[in-house]
Amino acid sequence: MIEVRGVHKSFGKLEVLKGIDCHIAPREVVCVIGPSGSGKSTLLRCINGLEQVNKGQIFIEGVEVTSSKVDINAVRQKVGMVFQLFNLFPHKTTLENITLAPIKIKGIPREEAETIAIELLRKVGLPDKDHVYPAQLSGGQKQRVAIARALAMQPRIMLFDEPTSSLDPEMVGEVLAVMKDLAHEGMTMVVVTHEMGFAREVGHRVLFMDEGIIEEDAPPAQLFDHPQQARTRQFLSKVL
């Protein structure tokens, strides 16, 4: 489903990704952990073309995202992304946030898009918040709307970049619950997170990244309980 081959990425002189290889199968939930600055966000952003790689290739369902000829907008319609700071459109209601892309990009009729949006709001537990502006929502509610917005494009893959890191602790659970439901429905997910409990419980695989490489790639039980690499052990001893 996602194939990353020998990806290198630099910002100026700083090499952030130093040769990343990984394969993510359909319906798989892969959690990415690692210290700050290790390149986790950059990897996610390369996958949907928000950053351009310097070397290597990334394929999504056989389409080379890193090719200069790719229709990146078509690829992104299949890959939803959820950001740490939500990035909801503040000038639009939650309903409009969710329906904007389906209406403008896919040309879905407004009524149909709104029916889908209301269904999605119900799914993320906010059935009565359709005509509210983002400023009137709590952080946890914003993030759930952001997830609904991404799902409205009916993506095949969802990328999450620390979706709960900017939330107050009491709101983390509600967002993780929505993500867990999504995982159980069989969505292919890549989740950058500091929530080790979520990675262990929901993740099929955990990637530990450090200084631009994937140090360790293993099922959660193995990675958390029997880490093979010294760097992984060192990192886990600090966060667990």
Ligand X SMILES: Nc1ncnc2c1ncn2[C@@H]1O[C@H](COP(=O)(O)OP(=O)(O)OP(=O)(O)O)[C@@H](O)[C@H]1O
Q: In this complex, which beta carbon is closest to Mg ion, that of residue 166 or of residue 229?
A: 166
Of 21-29, 117-125, 143-151, 179-187, the segment contacting another protein by CB under 8 A is 143-151
As a whole number of Å, the CA-based R_g of the chain is 18
Query: Toward another protein, which CB reaches closer, 136 or 234?
Result: 136
Q: Does 87 bind another protein (CB under 8 A)?
A: yes
Residue 85 interacts with another protein (CB under 8 A): yes or no: yes
Residues of this chain, 184-213, that bind another protein according to CB under 8 A: none
Q: How far is it, in rounded angstroms, from Cα 24 to Cα 3? A: 6
Sheet with 2-11, edge to edge strand ranges: 14-24, 2-11, 55-60, 63-64
What b/e string do you get for 27-65 counting C-beta neighbours within 10 Å, with b at 16 or more? ebbbbbbbeeebbbbbbbbbbbbebebeebebbbeeeeb
Q: Coil, strand or helix: which one is 133?
A: coil
Work out what residue 80 binds among Mg ion, ligand X, another protein, none; the CB cut-off runs from 5 to 8 Å by kind. Answer: another protein
Q: Which stretch binds another protein (CB under 8 A): 69-77, 195-203, 210-218, 221-229?
A: 69-77
Residues 28 to 87 in contact with Mg ion, rule: CB under 5 A: 41
DSSP 132: -
Residue 87's φ and ψ, nearest 5 degrees, are 55, 40
Q: Is 40 in the site for another protein (CB under 8 A)?
A: no
Please, which residue, 136 or 165, has the CB nearer to Mg ion?
A: 165
Dihedral sign (CA 37, 43, 49, 53): positive
Is position 164 an interface residue for Mg ion (rule: CB under 5 A)?
no
Binding site for another protein (CB under 8 A): 48, 50, 73-74, 76-77, 79-81, 83, 85, 87-91, 100-101, 104-105, 146, 149-150, 153
